[in-house]
Structure 1
Amino acid sequence: MSYFRTAILLAAMTALFMGVGFLIGGQSGMVIALVVAGAMNLFAYWNSDKMVLSMYGARPVDARTAPELYDLVSQLAAAAGLPMPKVYIMENPQPNAFATGRNPQNAAVAVTTGLMQTVSKEELAGVIAHELGHIKNHDTLLMTITATIAGAISMLANFGMFFGGRDNNNGAGIFGTLALVILAPLAAALVQMGISRTREYEADRLGAEISGRPLWLASALQKIARAAERIPNMPAEQNPASAHLFIVNPLSGARMDNLFSTHPNVQNRVARLNELAQQFGAGDTGARIAAPSSPAGPWSEPERRVAGRRGPWG
């Protein structure tokens, strides 16, 4: 049912975009709008992952520089039947994470230093499994497309404010232009948020299946949400259009489960994960997470320097 809902929302986004183009310039305006959107989507398809990783100052790590983190991602990717994604660490005090990439063969998982400092290894496994769920469902590409279309709608609405207003066969007229400028970006944002929230629930479910422990993710979500309320994510505040990528909304004052939130309410997500835990029972259905490599904790010395501490298990 969630996939059907996502398809409906994406169709609504596309129809809205075409309608904006038509209101501005009639049939020719609609065609021009589609050409522009196609070019934007093509650029986003090939470059969106590099852009967002650069935006957040993400640094690539590997089996040598972050062996325990890399090994954890490797174990969970194998459990999910996915190719090994690239792994990145962001120097950011807010605990959070996101996945990006146009397909599973070109995917990346990025976690913040704040996340490494805040959660246990099991909770981190739940977070990574959630992000791998996004990759497995091709959500990273879907969210890039919706964000691109939403941005194009806002751009066209501003364009219409300057060139619209002519009451003829091709124009929207003054009242149509006013409605266009005010309502079109709002409608696009609402559709984008609806898609984002739908995919978050799906990634929670699939992530729980990958790890086999829904409560790991539930516990991590509660910790991340509490910390995000008091620790700002400055790159996200400067680029709010990317907020939907994160596992928990990184923006201040936007964590209610309403029409204006890119994410479901955390307690609603936890409730669903608790239901999944009851369905799973005591069965070990997911990945087996290796024990820490030493009594000091699972982080290697380079990872401890990155995280700024010995690690949450030390």
Structure 2
Amino acid sequence: MRFFEHQDTARGETRRLLFFFALAVAATVLGVHAALAAAWVALAWLLPGRLPFPAAFFAVNVGVTLLLVLGGWWIETSNLRMPGGIERLARRMGAREARPGTSYAEQRLCNVVDEVCIAAHMPRPQAMVAPRAEAINAFAMGWSEDDAIVAVTEGALDWLTREELQGMVAHECSHIHEGDTHLHMQLAGMVLGLELVHHFGQTVRERGGLGWVFGMAITVMGLFGWLAGRALQAAVSRQREYLADARAVQWTRSRDGIGGVLRKAWAQQRAAREQGAPHRSPWHPALHHMLLVDGGARGGAWLDAHPPIAERVRRIHGRAMGPLPLHPVAHTPQREGARVSEATAPAVEGPFTPA
């Protein structure tokens, strides 16, 4: 895999999409004003006499719309900026701190996090585990490298080899190192602000009379901005997944690590479909963009926060490959090493090579 080439491509696509996101916000603000102006002109045409635009019509329309967009962004992000906000969100997603002293599997996770951070030359994030989550998955959160967390599911600890766990952790650490976790939370705040414009229009419309006319104008433009924001947020997320996959290969020097994770997660999803049970996610759909693989919510390809697993695998391995069979990983002192020595110094094992 030409991981540097894939990284440059993903970064370039991200910059282009962020430019379009800014255009979508500007178009929503100006579109609300244009829609209200059109409604006012139509009203003036229907009513007798001259009906000029009110004073500061443009300034009020643009100012209120911007207030809603930026207010939603501020509300969404300020909650997470509070001390402990990131950890509280992770706990709401069902994660807890890793307990290396009581579990060889979680000791292995902590060692792998240490190894990847050495290779990436980055501070060590807090390692967390989502117990009772059987699906192979993981997520990362944090405004910066200094307050970040990396969480993996219990299913990942049960089904992934050490090499694959390295690939999974390297993928999540890439999101932190590249600032993806910060970017995702900023975009989520902006999307919430665009959604508030839509809801504000619905509130005005419910007043009836002339409020219905002007509320409908705001609702339509707010819906356009909200959907455009969600689509562009998802497109940015898909590019950052490609970037994190390439980073994982770079840091671990192994395609089979992150590639094996994706192929096993693919096998889980396929098995669930064959059994007639939908692959449901225990997490709220609004948080799916934080996950390693799609949490199961399908809003159409243009709203998916993750590329298809088959395409990600093809990019990693350079050719199409199918799902991998699932075999539980045995966690024993012989396989993991003595707990005392593991706790004192992380050992670089297997195909992992710091870069």
User: Same fold by TM-score, threshold 0.5 exceeded?
Assistant: yes
Summarize the alignment of residues 50-129 of structure 1 with structure 2, pairs less than 5 Å apart: 50-61=87-98, 63-65=100-102, 66-91=106-131, 92-129=133-170
Q: 1:264 — aligned with what?
A: 307
- Render the CA deviation track for 1:9-60: whole Å, top value 9, x for unaligned: 2233344334434516522213423541452254155155234302222111
Q: 1:248 — aligned with what?
A: 293
Compared CA separation, residues 260 and 31, structure 1 to 2 (3 A): closer
CA contact 2:76–2:192 (8 Å) conserved in 1:
no
Q: Which runs of 5+ in 2 are unaligned?
A: 1-8, 34-59, 273-277, 320-330, 340-355
| Residues in 1 aligned to 2:269 and 2:109: alpha-carbon distance in whole angstroms | 22
CA contact 1:99–1:132 (8 Å) conserved in 2:
yes
CA contact 1:165–1:175 (8 Å) conserved in 2:
no
Compared CA separation, residues 18 and 41, structure 1 to 2 (3 A): farther
- Render the CA deviation track for 1:255-312: whole Å, top value 9, x for unaligned: x8x3131101111111111139xxxxxxxxxxxxxxx883355696xxxxxxxxxxxx
Percent identity over the alignment? 22
Q: 2:317 — aligned with what?
A: 274
| Residues in 1 aligned to 2:220 and 2:159: alpha-carbon distance in whole angstroms | 46
Alignment match of 1:2 (pick from 5, 10, 22): 10
Compared CA separation, residues 294 and 244, structure 1 to 2 (3 A): same
Q: 1:32 — aligned with what?
A: 67
Residue 181 (structure 2) pairs with residue 140 (structure 1): yes
Report the Cα offset of residue 253 of structure 1. Answer: 4.8
- Render the CA deviation track for 1:220-243: whole Å, top value 9, x for unaligned: 10111221452745432xx10100
Compared CA separation, residues 178 and 159, structure 1 to 2 (3 A): closer
Secondary structure of the residue aligned to 1:127 is helix
| Residues in 1 aligned to 2:192 and 2:70: alpha-carbon distance in whole angstroms | 15
| Residues in 2 aligned to 1:2 and 1:46: alpha-carbon distance in whole angstroms | 27
Amino acid at match of 1:85: P
Compared CA separation, residues 4 and 88, structure 1 to 2 (3 A): same
TM-score, normalising length: structure 1: 0.78
Q: 1:194 — aligned with what?
A: 235
CA contact 2:129–2:153 (8 Å) conserved in 1:
yes
Compared CA separation, residues 187 and 31, structure 1 to 2 (3 A): closer
CA contact 1:62–1:87 (8 Å) conserved in 2:
no
Report the Cα offset of residue 119 of structure 1. Answer: 1.4
| Residues in 1 aligned to 2:312 and 2:168: alpha-carbon distance in whole angstroms | 13
Report the Cα offset of residue 123 of structure 1. Answer: 0.9
| Residues in 2 aligned to 1:223 and 1:246: alpha-carbon distance in whole angstroms | 15
| Residues in 2 aligned to 1:266 and 1:145: alpha-carbon distance in whole angstroms | 26
Compared CA separation, residues 297 and 103, structure 1 to 2 (3 A): same
CA contact 1:2–1:198 (8 Å) conserved in 2:
yes
Compared CA separation, residues 30 and 275, structure 1 to 2 (3 A): same
| Residues in 1 aligned to 2:219 and 2:71: alpha-carbon distance in whole angstroms | 23
Secondary structure of the residue aligned to 2:303 is coil
Compared CA separation, residues 33 and 174, structure 1 to 2 (3 A): closer
- Render the CA deviation track for 1:109-135: whole Å, top value 9, x for unaligned: 000001111111111111111111111
| Residues in 2 aligned to 1:298 and 1:246: alpha-carbon distance in whole angstroms | 30
| Residues in 2 aligned to 1:196 and 1:218: alpha-carbon distance in whole angstroms | 19
Report the Cα offset of residue 62 of structure 1. Answer: 5.1
Amino acid at match of 1:12: F
Residue 86 (structure 2) pairs with residue 49 (structure 1): yes
Residue 235 (structure 2) pairs with residue 235 (structure 1): no
Q: Cα RMSD (Å) of the superposition?
A: 3.0
| Residues in 2 aligned to 1:207 and 1:299: alpha-carbon distance in whole angstroms | 27
Compared CA separation, residues 35 and 193, structure 1 to 2 (3 A): closer
User: Please, which moves more after superposition, 134-143 or 224-233?
Assistant: 224-233
| Residues in 1 aligned to 2:213 and 2:156: alpha-carbon distance in whole angstroms | 49
Amino acid at match of 2:317: N
CA contact 1:21–1:33 (8 Å) conserved in 2:
no
Amino acid at match of 1:146: L
CA contact 1:93–1:113 (8 Å) conserved in 2:
yes
| Residues in 2 aligned to 1:299 and 1:58: alpha-carbon distance in whole angstroms | 26
- Render the CA deviation track for 1:59-96: whole Å, top value 9, x for unaligned: 11255343221111101111111111100000111110
Report the Cα offset of residue 6 of structure 1. Answer: 1.6
